[in-house]
Structure 1
Amino acid sequence: MSDLRRRIAFPKGTTLFQPGQACPGLVLLDKGTIRVTLTAANGREVVLYRVSPGDMCLQTFACLVEGRSYSAEGVAETDLEGELVPPDQFRTRLEGDPDFRTLVFSAVANRFGEYERLIEDVALTGFDARLARVLLRLADPAGEVHAAHSALAVETASGRAFVSRRMAEFVRRGLVEQLRGGVRITDRAGLERIAAD
């Protein structure tokens, strides 16, 4: 049996899949991050999760197992490198390769844990805690978050205007300072306290 996996590389910003599209196979990343988002009928968008090396895209897994099309969008958040396992090879390896099966099922289980946290954040956590967690997660080593309010709205499953009001309050409280195209965290401990609420 020949191995039909093939190497792939995509530049940052490439749309890898969209709602209604058939699945070309399982992407196993060696490098980079895919951002998976869902858009509601009213146009509001939310980040469901990110796929990094070792992670599993639940959208892809569901499409491969059930033979359905995508319901969300996946975009290369950074340059990507990896391999593509076509659908027939995915099924063959899942049935006959115990190591591959363990890898897939462990990654799916971890991803479901992240889904539970997302639901908890959106349904059971106050907005300021959600926003603080996103800022802490997206901050680079210098404490800068390079994301406009519209991008933060997508990350927090909220509206841009509401994010802008809460960010203004974070600035007023000395937690962050506004930069062109983002913010710099000025009180990390303060944000961590809010994130823990």
Structure 2
Amino acid sequence: MIQSEDVKQILSFFPSMADIKKEDWNQSGINLIQMEPNYIIKEGQLLEYVIMILDGTVRMYKTSSNGREITLYRVYSGECCPLMTSSILSMSEFEASACVETTGLALMIPADIFRDWVDRYSKFRQFIFKSLAKRIITLATLLDSVYFKTIRGRVAEFLIQLSDKTGKADTLHITHDSLSVELGTAREVISRTLKYLENEDVIKLSRGKITIISRGALEDCADW
């Protein structure tokens, strides 16, 4: 059961839910849950709940028929997954897989209650559709990258973005396997590309780490 203090916490992350009436929060099945790392929701399920993230990170990904993964995007604090919400609104199968990456807190809303709130509360509905529009742009950018950019350019671009997220750090803690999952290609392709960049004195490779030697040269490699 959601308490008044819980609602205050939820609204600090999701102000678009401020119009939801007190009695609506008292409905059965609405809960705050602790997310545990590596918990996975598999593609193809008919979802019974919407998960809205207060704290933590969830990775959304697709898996090919040969088992290769590609990361679509991540869901962070104050966000919900539009693929999840669209699946519930359309009452269709979940079109991706989700994996909890970091421990956190999430709001769990039963599917029928979620659909009712989207129908009745305009600000909440607007938030949901804005989230969907934002991720359409993200996926369009990913599609553009996969089909129109070289793997060398994609690797360089990802390393630059990862460096920016960690405060322009020169040393990035990421494995070849992890990088292949992020970019949706074979580990051998990633390793070969990284070795080329190392031979050109753009980066330096060590176990579980990639050090950027020349950010300018790395930016030149990226297909912006």
TM-score by length of 1: 0.91
Aligned partner of residue 165 in structure 1, secondary structure? helix
Deviation string 1:58-101 (CA, Å, 9 cap, x unpaired) is 32123202212223221112122121121111111101111101
Aligned equivalents of 1:105, 1:60: Cα separation in 2:
12
Preserved contact between residue 51 and residue 107 of structure 2 (Cα < 8 Å) = yes
Aligned equivalents of 1:147, 1:24: Cα separation in 2:
34
Aligned equivalents of 1:137, 1:8: Cα separation in 2:
31
Counterparts in 2 of 1:94 and 1:151: CA distance versus 1, 3 Å: same
- Give the counterpart of 1:133 among 157, 175, 180: 157
Partner of 2:214: 187
Partner of 2:7: none
Preserved contact between residue 72 and residue 139 of structure 2 (Cα < 8 Å) = yes
- 5+ long unaligned stretches in structure 2: 1-22
Deviation string 1:36-72 (CA, Å, 9 cap, x unpaired) is 1111111121111111123342321232022122232
Aligned equivalents of 2:46, 2:209: Cα separation in 1:
36
Deviation for aligned residue 1:161: 0.6
Partner of 1:157: 184
Aligned equivalents of 2:37, 2:206: Cα separation in 1:
23
Letter in 2 for 1:118: L
2:139 is equivalent to residue 112 of structure 1: no
Deviation string 1:122-145 (CA, Å, 9 cap, x unpaired) is 011121111112112233333332
Partner of 2:198: 171
Any runs of at least 4 consecutive aligned residues in structure 1 with deviations exceeding 6 A, and if so which? Answer: none
Aligned equivalents of 1:188, 1:9: Cα separation in 2:
39
Counterparts in 2 of 1:39 and 1:79: CA distance versus 1, 3 Å: same
> 182-191 vs 139-148, which deviates more?
139-148
Aligned equivalents of 1:144, 1:14: Cα separation in 2:
29
Number of matched pairs: 196
Deviation for aligned residue 1:179: 2.3
Aligned equivalents of 1:120, 1:56: Cα separation in 2:
24
Aligned partner of residue 44 in structure 2, secondary structure? coil
Larger Rg: 2
- Give the counterpart of 1:2 among 14, 18, 24: 24
Deviation for aligned residue 1:114: 0.2
Partner of 2:170: 143
Deviation for aligned residue 1:110: 0.2
Deviation for aligned residue 1:173: 1.6
Letter in 2 for 1:49: Y
Aligned equivalents of 1:108, 1:54: Cα separation in 2:
14
Q: Which has the higher contact order (CA 8 A, sep 6+)?
A: 1
Question: How much identity, in percent, do the aligned residues show?
Answer: 26
Aligned equivalents of 1:79, 1:174: Cα separation in 2:
37
Deviation for aligned residue 1:168: 0.3
TM-score by length of 2: 0.81
Aligned partner of residue 157 in structure 2, secondary structure? helix
- Give the counterpart of 1:121 among 145, 151, 167: 145
Letter in 2 for 1:167: L
- 5+ long unaligned stretches in structure 1: none
